[in-house]
Structure 1
């Protein structure tokens, strides 16, 4: 089955999900205006990305059960893909809210949801509804399964962990009060592990494991020990691409410099800058104008951040490959699950 066919089958489930959620609102006797708004919210914010997180649930489940998406029954495929779409709904919830907090302009090549005509601050409630949809779908499709509570616990825990990461990100990098002394690689590590790694990497795999009956603490720890540092590496890539990538590559306009983000790039610059270069950063980082942003980008190039990043990438990937080789597969876990994640991330450019 080609990548296009895999994605096509996955996306074909989304309209059913929307209809089911729509029926819930109809049963509550919601006015048509509200139903139409919710559907537009779902359609605009959920399916437009790369869908890597959602597809990873399906891929992981198939690897663990030695099968392929085409060999799954319609019922089995529906359930595992719904778990994938629940991860995508969680992602949509985070992104709608995050774009408002950062006052971002574009997301996935289109205007951020809150910037659409008539939306504005309604997007705050819309983000809540995207999250709430997860639990409506889980209840409908998994309540009779013995792992239902595990699914609920996992989504609640990972959501809270992500919000903790977002909190530290926001208080460390106040958009309007720039203080680079607040930054450190240790803080950056905490932020990206909690804000990105748990929900983007651990969550999809753990969901597929629960559905496959692989739920021992030992196996969950084995995947965490690889996927959390892998998720950190992924976010370091994201920070690097935000500065050195193009909008066409990454699907958005990079704003980390103007937003005073505690990114890996600026933390590396702070480590290697001379006193004179540090003053340039203090004078320009976090400013809203294009000229100051370009000054920072030029300084990053002068400091050789690209080489530092390439060296970091090779080092972390080597360590992760060693960890994967030591995975105990005796209880049903497969090394291939973790290798496939690493292969998707290594050397990505978008």
Structure 2
């Protein structure tokens, strides 16, 4: 019996739930499916209990925009008459696979960045008794994606397309500088375009397109053109919030300055600062020293980085509108506009 239905005697009644509610319910089904097998074996039982703990702590709690965008996009691409219960359930499942991908990245990234909090709670590796075993736990999250796809989508014509989408995103470029002396203005934009944009924006829409039977390379390239532009802004927005966001709202304490990250803020600042300001930046950036971090932030304020960011945000939204008009002639504009509504002017 699917979680979408409730049984009553000999007939089935479809549960009247929102996509968000269906998505939440699907997570419980997913955890049960991945962890409640062969529990009679004590060794396997310990491993599965660990997987349950990893899933429950790290997969929920985010904004879920990536996961919900699969079913949201599919609803724009297919008429209601074609959205069968099985198709909806698989779309929710694929959405959770994207959320597991995000969790996999975050668990690993938090270790590399020595982050303290994530989504309003201690990072997974910071929990008592976890430590660097979190590296193995991140691999458990990754492996869970392919177990779920194989079990639920293997007999679908789009199965190979989904596998290719997920494997393509597993090799993102690095976003940490070795030195602020580098010409980072030429490095940041390729990074932001493919680090987050692909799996956060193109992946959920492309998955929905394949599930809807849209296999045209031209249509996928058109969608990618729009969504990578949107994802570039999203990453720049993340860079801004790392410095200027409220940790009580964002759920994390920013560390880009001390971690020597090649962020939009530092790249933009270096383009407009004086030689004296650049010397101060190079003396302070990438140092795990709170006083030096504050000097970098003060320098950003002197350069009016918040004003420059908000100007960039407005210009980015205007560019996006033009891209949609130009490249989405055969695709529903709401697929892209729904994304835009979620990210522009966000504060977390």
- Tell me the TM-score normalized by structure 2: 0.91
Structure with the higher fraction of residues in helix conformation: 1
CA separation in 1, counterparts of 2:290 and 2:18?
Answer: 42
CA distance 1:82–1:281, change in 2 (3 Å): same
User: Which residue of 1 is the match for residue 243 of structure 2?
Assistant: 243
Alpha-carbon deviations, 1:205-246, whole Å to 9, x = none?
000111110110011001100000110000101101111111
CA distance 1:319–1:27, change in 2 (3 Å): farther
CA separation in 2, counterparts of 1:185 and 1:209?
Answer: 34
Alpha-carbon deviations, 1:306-333, whole Å to 9, x = none?
1211221121211110110123544xx2
One of 50, 54, 65 as aligned partner of 1:37: 50
Does 17-26 or 277-286 show the bigger shift?
17-26
User: Which residue of 1 is the match for residue 4 of structure 2?
Assistant: none
Q: Which structure 1 residue ranges, 4+ long, deviate > 3 Å from structure 2? A: 23-30, 71-74, 327-330
CA distance 1:328–1:265, change in 2 (3 Å): closer
One of 104, 114, 139 as aligned partner of 1:93: 104
Alpha-carbon deviations, 1:56-103, whole Å to 9, x = none?
1111011111449xx954322211100000000000000000001111
Would you say the 8 A contact 1:60–1:205 is kept in 2? yes
Unaligned 5+ segments in structure 1 are none
Would you say the 8 A contact 2:193–2:231 is kept in 1? yes
One of 175, 181, 198 as aligned partner of 1:169: 175
User: Which residue of 2 is the match for residue 205 of structure 1?
Assistant: 205
CA separation in 2, counterparts of 1:31 and 1:191?
Answer: 40
Would you say the 8 A contact 1:159–1:199 is kept in 2? no
User: Which residue of 2 is the match for residue 108 of structure 1?
Assistant: 119
User: Which residue of 2 is the match for residue 18 of structure 1?
Assistant: 31
Would you say the 8 A contact 2:36–2:48 is kept in 1? no
CA separation in 2, counterparts of 1:310 and 1:294?
Answer: 22
Task: Give aligned pairs, total.
Answer: 332
CA separation in 2, counterparts of 1:342 and 1:30?
Answer: 47
Would you say the 8 A contact 1:183–1:262 is kept in 2? no
User: Which residue of 2 is the match for residue 191 of structure 1?
Assistant: 191
* 3-state SS of paired residue (2:235): helix
One of 85, 93, 96 as aligned partner of 1:74: 85
* 3-state SS of paired residue (2:148): helix
CA distance 1:67–1:347, change in 2 (3 Å): farther
Would you say the 8 A contact 2:223–2:328 is kept in 1? no
User: Which residue of 2 is the match for residue 259 of structure 1?
Assistant: 259
One of 143, 152, 155 as aligned partner of 1:141: 152
Unaligned 5+ segments in structure 2 are 1-16
Would you say the 8 A contact 1:277–1:299 is kept in 2? yes
CA separation in 2, counterparts of 1:311 and 1:273?
Answer: 18
- Tell me the TM-score normalized by structure 1: 0.90
Does 204-213 or 15-24 show the bigger shift?
15-24
**2:228 is the alignment partner of 1:217:** no
User: Which residue of 1 is the match for residue 6 of structure 2?
Assistant: none
User: Which residue of 1 is the match for residue 168 of structure 2?
Assistant: 157
CA separation in 1, counterparts of 2:104 and 2:112?
Answer: 13
CA distance 1:92–1:215, change in 2 (3 Å): same
CA separation in 1, counterparts of 2:101 and 2:41?
Answer: 23
Would you say the 8 A contact 1:158–1:198 is kept in 2? yes
One of 331, 334, 346 as aligned partner of 2:332: 334
The alpha carbon displacement at 1:185 in A equals 2.6
The alpha carbon displacement at 1:257 in A equals 0.7
The alpha carbon displacement at 1:28 in A equals 8.3
User: Which residue of 2 is the match for residue 182 of structure 1?
Assistant: 182
User: Which residue of 2 is the match for residue 288 of structure 1?
Assistant: 288
